[in-house]
Structure 1
Amino acid sequence: MSGTADIGCACGRTRLEVLGAPILVSECLCNSCRAAAGRLATLPGARNILTSYGATSCAEYRKDRVRILSGAEHLSEFRLAADAGTRRVVATCCNTPVFLELKGAHWLSIYLHLWPHEARPKAELRTMVGALPDASNLPDDIPNLKSHTVSFYAKLLGAWIAMGFRNPKIDVVGKIEA
Structure 2
Amino acid sequence: MARIYISLGTNISPEQHLKAGLLDLQQYFGPLQLSRVFESESVGFKGTNFLNMVAVAETNLAIGEVVATFKRIEQANGRIRGEKKFSPRSLDIDLLLYDDTVCDEPVELPRGEILFNAFVLWPLAEVAPNLNHPIAQKSYHALWQAYDKQCQNLWPIAFEFPAELQPNIKLSTL
TM-score > 0.5 by shorter chain: no
Of Structure 1 and Structure 2, the greater helix share is in 2
Of Structure 1 and Structure 2, the greater strand share is in 1
Shorter-chain TM-score category? 0.3 to 0.5
Give the structure-2-normalised TM-score.
Answer: 0.32
Bigger relative contact order, structure 1 or 2, given CA contacts below 8 A and separation 6+? Answer: 2
